[in-house]
Amino acid sequence: MTGSPIGNATRREAKKAAILEAAGCLIIERGFEGANLDAICERAGCSKTSIYAYFGNKEGLLEALTEDISLDLSKALHALYMEELGVEESLRRYARLALRVILDEKHIAIVRATISAVWKYPHLGPAYYEMGAATAQSALAQYLETQMLAGTLNISDSIEAAKEFQGRLLWDRMLAQIVGAHERPEDAEIESSADAAVENFLVRYRAV
């Protein structure tokens, strides 16, 4: 006797989440090459068949981990917009969340893993960019577009404005952490950096 479709779907999602969690933790601990499928299966309590069914292979797992991060940011930005907060408060909350998520040890490990694996698996670089940076950037651009149409922001190109905001917010900090020049900042520093990025952005683009 089989379970209900809803119950089966819930179990599948739970298994997928367990596999992703195990893969992420092992990539942090051992790097991409060291996070072999046997270790992932042991940590997640699953079979290789499950990994192949859900993700195709280990490279698919890495892509899925990246996609999770970009989706989290997109959903957060949408939720802030639905709360009908002012643009300054929305961008401030989004910026703080983006820094916490993107500078998290797990995400930095995923970026390092992608860089180290791209020579062997060239598709991983474009896949990371499209599912990660480009997706998050597109969601932010859509939000900025709504603010432009509402007359809150004085911008002519929402995509370029989103690139500028993300670059100001993330580039130096993320690069420094990837190469090991700095560790993840404390929450107080994250909040200060996020607030400064928002303030500088609004000085330039807030409608008078």
Q: Residues 66, 150: one domain?
A: yes
pTM of the model: 0.79
Q: In this structure, are 66 and 25 located in the same domain? A: no
**Domain match, 125 and 185 both:** yes
Q: How much is the pLDDT for 7? A: 67
Each residue's pLDDT tens digit, 104-143:
888 888 888 888 888 888 887 887 787 777 878 888 999 9
Same domain assignment for residues 109 and 176: yes
Mean pLDDT (the chain, rounded): 86
Over range 154-164, report the average pLDDT: 94
Report the number of distinct structural domains present in the chain: 2
Tell me what pLDDT residue 1 has: 47
**Span 9-47, pLDDT tens digits:** 788 888 888 998 898 888 888 887 888 899 999 999 988
Q: Do 75 and 7 share a structural domain?
A: no
**Domain check: are 108 and 197 in the same one?**
yes
Do 63 and 52 reside in the same domain of the chain? Answer: no
Confirm if 61 and 51 have CB atoms less than 8 A apart.
yes
Contact 28, 49 (CB under 8 A): no
Statement to judge: residues 97 and 147 lie in one domain: yes
Range of the domain at 148: 59-205
Q: How far apart, in Å, are the Cα atoms of 129 and each of 66, 70, 116, 196?
A: 9, 10, 15, 26
CATH code at position 180: 1.10.357.10
Q: Which residues contact 23 (CB under 8 A, 6 or more apart)?
A: 35, 40, 44, 58, 61, 62, 65
Q: CA nearest 50: which of 75, 18, 73, 76?
A: 18
Asked whether residue 23 falls in the same domain as residue 117, the answer is no
